[in-house]
């Protein structure tokens, strides 16, 4: 590059903003790209919201400040459930949320979050990165001018907080429970009444008896919400969300206008954030469960086997109905379920068999 060309490049305003590495230090450069990230979580919401902060920080650090991302909590810039449209239109560059929030756009989106009685985090990441799952997700979001990236997973959630015991399938009848999405549809078919409400209303509704039960996430988030004060029966396992995938989505033109190195940084930062989130959930749920049981005397109970089998049967029905009426859902589910069939066989002799063996004691 000749001196004249160098000066010419600098004249463009683009290169001058590049992070210059001199003498082993990255200079704080003027960012080339100033992005806004809208999220579906309250600002700094534990793990989900803080993971969005972590992601923004990682991208900024790896790019030496060439990308700066300002993270907005739900409703700060746009309402939580308008994040998808805002990024799709290019009003903001980037969003952080959960695919099942967009089922109004496409029923298939739900399958990229979680499927009741579907795959665990480790299994589903195998499908996403090495089983064609992410490519299908990209195909879907491309219709909406978005590039999706898997960004974290909750791991197996809890079944929820119940004011009364669940001893049989009959106890689900008439049960008024805050449970959104596919899980809610399953409860409805079991004779219950699924209710949707924002996180902030759950505690009061459960305490007043306006609802009989609620699911939320897992011990760490549930402890923070104080749900143990409103109901003492904490049921497991979270059959409806056995490993919910979270997401980042970037406006397609915005993403494509990035230099290749910054595209790589954004993509790999999301995968790094995936590892970070499941690890954070793993660590914090451990400790919170201990607090719930030993400090707050919560009763941790297993859903009875016949209840689980009934819910499984109804879950299959709910998924099949979606697959029957939507061609793209059929395509995605064919890929998902064929992967899951093999995944279960391997998990049975690896993760599952090992945890059973460890539990036998010495």
**Residues from 269 through 328 that contact its own copies (CB under 8 A):** 269, 271-272, 274-276, 278-287, 289-290, 293, 300, 302-303, 305, 308-309, 312-313, 315-316
* Window of 11-19, 189-197, 223-231, 320-328 that interacts with its own copies by CB under 8 A: 11-19
Q: In 3-state terms, what secondary structure has residue 222?
A: helix
* Omega prior to 237 cis, within 30 of 0: yes
Bridge partners of residue 97, in order along the sequence: 247
| Positive or negative: CA dihedral 277, 279, 284, 290 | positive
How far apart are alpha carbons 114 and 129 in whole angstroms?
A: 16
DSSP 244-258: PEEEEEEEHHHHHTS
- Take residue 111 and report the two structure tokens written for it: 């399958």
Contact call for residue 125 and its own copies (CB under 8 A): yes
Binding mask 79-118 for its own copies (x = CB under 8 A): --------------------------------------x-
In the complex, the smallest distance separating the C-beta of residue 25 from its own copies, rounded to whole angstroms, is: 6
Contact call for residue 224 and its own copies (CB under 8 A): no
* Window of 5-13, 76-84, 179-187, 326-334 that interacts with its own copies by CB under 8 A: 5-13
2, 4, 208, 357: which one contacts its own copies (CB under 8 A)?
357
How far apart are alpha carbons 231 and 212 in whole angstroms?
A: 9
How far apart are alpha carbons 56 and 74 in whole angstroms?
A: 16
Contact call for residue 18 and its own copies (CB under 8 A): yes
Q: Is 216 annotated as a binding residue?
A: yes
How far apart are alpha carbons 314 and 191 in whole angstroms?
A: 11
Q: Residue count at the site for its own copies (CB under 8 A)?
A: 111
Instruction: Confirm if 89 and 284 have CB atoms less than 8 A apart.
Output: no
Residue numbers 27-46 binding its own copies by CB under 8 A: 32
105, 232, 268, 331: which one contacts its own copies (CB under 8 A)?
268
How far apart are alpha carbons 341 and 201 in whole angstroms?
A: 39
How far apart are alpha carbons 246 and 107 in whole angstroms?
A: 16
Residue numbers 45-84 binding its own copies by CB under 8 A: 58, 61-66
Q: Is 207 annotated as a binding residue?
A: no
Nearer to its own copies, 133 or 184 (CB): 133
95, 131, 148, 184: which one contacts its own copies (CB under 8 A)?
131
Nearer to its own copies, 66 or 96 (CB): 66
DSSP 159-214: -EEESS---SGGGGTT-EEE--HHHHHHHHHTT-EEE---HHHHHHHHHHTSSSEE
Contact call for residue 120 and its own copies (CB under 8 A): yes
258, 319, 323, 332: which one contacts its own copies (CB under 8 A)?
258
In the complex, the smallest distance separating the C-beta of residue 76 from its own copies, rounded to whole angstroms, is: 27
| Residues in binding site | 157, 178, 215-216, 241
């Amino acid at each position: 590059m000749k001196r004249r060309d160098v000066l010419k490049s600098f004249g463009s305003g683009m290169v001058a903003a590049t992070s210059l590495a001199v003498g082993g230090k990255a200079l704080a450069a003027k960012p080339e790209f100033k992005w806004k990230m809208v999220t579906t979580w309250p600002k700094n919401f534990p793990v989900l919201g803080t993971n969005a902060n972590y992601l923004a920080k990682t991208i900024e650090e790896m790019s030496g400040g060439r990308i700066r991302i300002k993270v907005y909590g739900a409703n700060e810039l746009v309402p939580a459930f308008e994040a998808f449209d805002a990024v799709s239109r290019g009003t903001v560059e980037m969003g952080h949320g959960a695919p099942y929030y967009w089922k109004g756009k496409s029923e298939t989106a739900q399958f990229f979050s979680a499927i009741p009685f579907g795959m665990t985090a480790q299994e589903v990441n195998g499908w996403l990165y090495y089983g064609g799952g992410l490519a299908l997700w990209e195909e879907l979001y491309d219709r909406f001018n978005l590039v999706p990236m898997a960004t974290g997973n909750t791991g197996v959630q809890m079944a929820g907080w119940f004011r009364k015991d669940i001893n049989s399938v009959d106890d689900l009848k008439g049960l008024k429970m805050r449970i959104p999405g596919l899980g809610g549809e399953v409860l409805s078919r079991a004779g219950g009444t699924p209710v949707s409400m924002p996180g902030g209303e759950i505690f009061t509704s459960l305490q007043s008896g306006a609802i009989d039960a609620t699911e939320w996430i897992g011990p760490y988030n549930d402890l923070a919400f104080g749900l143990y004060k409103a109901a003492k029966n904490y049921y497991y396992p979270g059959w409806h969300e056995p490993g919910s995938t979270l997401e980042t989505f970037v406006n397609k033109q915005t993403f494509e206008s990035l230099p290749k190195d910054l595209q790589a940084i954004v993509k790999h930062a999301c995968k790094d954030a995936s590892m970070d989130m499941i690890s954070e959930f793993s660590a914090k749920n451990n400790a919170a469960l201990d607090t719930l049981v030993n400090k707050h005397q919560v009763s941790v109970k297993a859903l009875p086997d016949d209840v689980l089998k009934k819910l499984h049967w109804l879950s299959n029905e709910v998924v099949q109905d979606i697959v029957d009426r939507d061609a793209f859902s059929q395509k995605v589910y064919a890929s998902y379920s064929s992967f899951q069939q093999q995944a279960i066989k391997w998990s049975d002799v690896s993760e599952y068999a090992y945890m059973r063996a460890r539990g036998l004691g010495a």
